[in-house]
Structure 1
Amino acid sequence: MAGKQMLNIVKMKRMKQDGDPISMITAYDYPSAVLAEEAGVDIILVGDSLGNVVLGYDTTIPVTLDDMVYHSRSVARGAKNTFIVTDMPFMTYHGSIDETLRGVSRIMQEGHAQAVKMEGGAEIADTVKRIVQAGVPMLGHIGLTPQSVNQIGGYRIQGKDEADAKRLLEDARALEQAGAFGIVLELVTEEVAAYISSELSIPTIGIGAGRGCDGQVLVYHDVLKYTSNYRNKRFVKTFGDIGEQIRSGISAYVQEVKTRQFPAEEHVFAAEDGVLDNLYGKGKAEIHS
C-alpha cells in the first residue's frame, strides 16, 4: 500500500486503548507478503504453521530455525512497510538462554523480522524477560499451542472450565509482566478470551477466540482457500477461493498444450528473412520450419 506507515508496539497498545482492532495474517513467501501489504494488513505473522501449509508436514514440530529464517527473509522483502512477527520454532527457546538468544538473533538479523513469537505462558516468562531486555519485541501465544499438540492431546478448545480459565489468565499476566507486547489467544472460549483481554494493558490477537480480542489473525491459505480439498474450520471465514481458480487455470493450460492451441501465433517470435536459408541451405528451410 503506497504511503503505508509501519505499525510499532507503541501504536498497537494505543490501538487497544482506542478500540481499534488489529488485523494480522500469516504469510510465508514474497508474493503473499506483497499482496498482504497492498491489502493494508497491520501485522504479518511468519508462522511455523508453514510446516502444515507450505512444507506438507502433519504438525509444526519438524519446522527448523533455518526454515523460519528463510521464509521470514522472503516475507520481509515483500512487505517493507508492514510489522513482521516471526515464530521461534519447536524447542529453540527451551534450552540455555544463550542458545535461545542466538536463535532470536538469527530471526531478527537474518530473517529481518521486527519481533518474535513464542508459545507458552508462565513457564517461559523468564526467557521472555531476557529476550525483551535484549531489545527484542516478543509476542506471546497461549491457549492451543500447536508445538505442544502431542502433550495436550490434540487440537482442543481451551478455557472451557474454571481451572483452565484461571491457568490461561495467569499465563497471560505472566507474559505481560515479562514484557510481551501482545498475546495471541488460540482456540480459547469467547468468554475467557474477552475477560483476559479486558484484564491486560497489552493487546490480544485471537484465532478461534471470539469477538472480545483486540485483534484477529488467520492463516493466508485459510482466508483464500489456497489449497486442495480444503477442510472447513468453524473459527475461519474464507473470503475467496483461489484454490479452485488455480486448479482450473492450470487444467486449461494443460488442455491447450495437449491440443496444440498453446502457443498460438501471438505467443511466438519470428526470425529475420533468410535466416533459415542460410542455416539449412536453400530449399530446405520449409522442412525445418
Structure 2
Amino acid sequence: MSGKLYVVATPIGNLADFSFRALEVLKQVDLIAAEDTRHVKMLLQHYGINKPLISLHQHNEDRASQGLVDKIRDGQSIALVSDAGTPLLSDPGLPLVKLARQDGLEVTPIPGACALIAALSVSGLPITRFSFEGFLPRTASARKSFFQDKLSDTSTWAFYESSHRIQAALEDMAGIFPPEHEIVIAREITKLHETIVKAPLAAALQKVQSDENMRKGEFVVIVAGRKIEVDQQQLSEEHLKILRLLLSECSIKTAVALATEITGQRKKRLYQAALDMQENQ
C-alpha cells in the first residue's frame, strides 16, 4: 500500500497555536521533511516527538522530491513542514506536492497557523476578495514597477516583507501611492512583540522610520484596494437606495436581480455597486 503525504501547518510564533491533529500526525508519520531541520527539532523536542528528519529547502527540493515520492509509494507516510506557518505560502514544498499528485498519491492538508490569514482577520479592511503577492522584489526599481501595477487594484492585497527591506519597501510605495491610502502593518504575529498598525500610508511610513522596533521581525503588509466611486449619472441616488434596501433583506444575487427589474439598469453595473457597498460597510 502507498503511504501518504501530510502538509502540516506549524506555529508562527506562539507554540500553543499547534493543533492536536497536527501533533498526532507528526507522532505517527515515518519521516518529516522540513525546510530547516534545526528549527523544527526545537518544536519537536518541545512536544516530545522523535522522528527522522530530512531537509527540503529551495536549493534541493527539485532533486529531493522524487526520492520522497518513492518512499511514499513504498508505503511510508511523510509530513511536510516549513519553518513556521503553512507550507508552500512563500515556502518550499511545491515540487513535492506536485509530484505526489502526479503519481496519484494521497496528499492531506493539516491546517493551522498562517501569518497572512491571521493578519487579514484583524486588519479591518474588506477581505471578501483579496490577493496575496508573496515577498516583494528585492530591487527598488522592480518594487516601484510592482506598486505602479497595483495602483488600480480595487480589492485588498497583501505581501510579506523582511526586517531588512520593510522601510525601503514602504518608501518606494509612498512614491507611487497617495499619502492617505490606507494600509495595515502586522508585525511579529502571535509573538511577544506583536504589533498591528492601521494607518494612512504616510503615517505608517513615519512610524517605521522613527521607531527602530518597527523595523524588526517579520511583516505582513495589507493594502486597501482603490475605492470606486459610483457613477451618479449611471446610477442615481434613488437606484442606490433601492439596491441598499434590497441588500438588507436579500442575498446579493437576488438583490441585484430585483434591482435590475425595478430600475432597468444594467445587471453588471448594479452587481459591481452591490459589491462595493458590501466591502465598504
Rg larger for:
1
Structure 1 length-normalised TM: 0.23
Structure 2 length-normalised TM: 0.24
Higher RCO, Cα 8 Å, sep 6+: 2
